[in-house]
Amino acid sequence: MKDLWSPWRIEYILQKKPDGCVFCKGCQADMDAENLILHRGEYNFVIMNRYPYNNGHLMVVPYRHINMLNNLTADEQLEMMQLVSLCIEVLKDSMHPDGFNVGMNLGAPAGAGIKDHIHMHIVPRWTGDTNFMPVLADTRVIVEALDQTYARLKPLFEKCLVAQAQGRAIASKHRAP
């Protein structure tokens, strides 16, 4: 038997688990880097998953504490999908994945770890990223520290938003009156 060394997990294991919703508490604090918040929209924010399935595992979360998709307003839903698209562009630019898993787990039976505050997962995937570790050892290998991934992704959100805004301005100039 071989050991997998993951000393960062002890912090989570030993810490007192917070009361209340981690998303609500995290987005209210003015500590985006510590809370791994990469971008704040009007209705939703983008946050890194602290316990990722893969490197670059992001989530889009509404500010409002909502447990079902149909309880979101049309504006909240629209921005959520726009931010999912932004996350995909940022991850393509920075990590060059071969594909993505995108989705929600609604309710505990569906696998929701935080069932009372919906969130959309964006998980980059690479051909061959499912190796023997998860299959035989029920263990995932995350190859980059969260703070390093955060530092790499954060400036790319602003870069993509600026590029999108410039693209919209150019498109509006070329529309027929």
Residues acting as catalytic residues: 119
Burial class (CB in 10 A: 0-12, 13-18, 19+), 118: buried
Q: Write b or e for each residue in 17-29: b if 16 or more Cβ atoms lie within 10 A of its Cβ, otherwise e.
A: eeeeebbeebbee
Residue 161, both tokens: 């938003």
Cα–Cα distance between 57 and 149 in angstroms, integer? 10
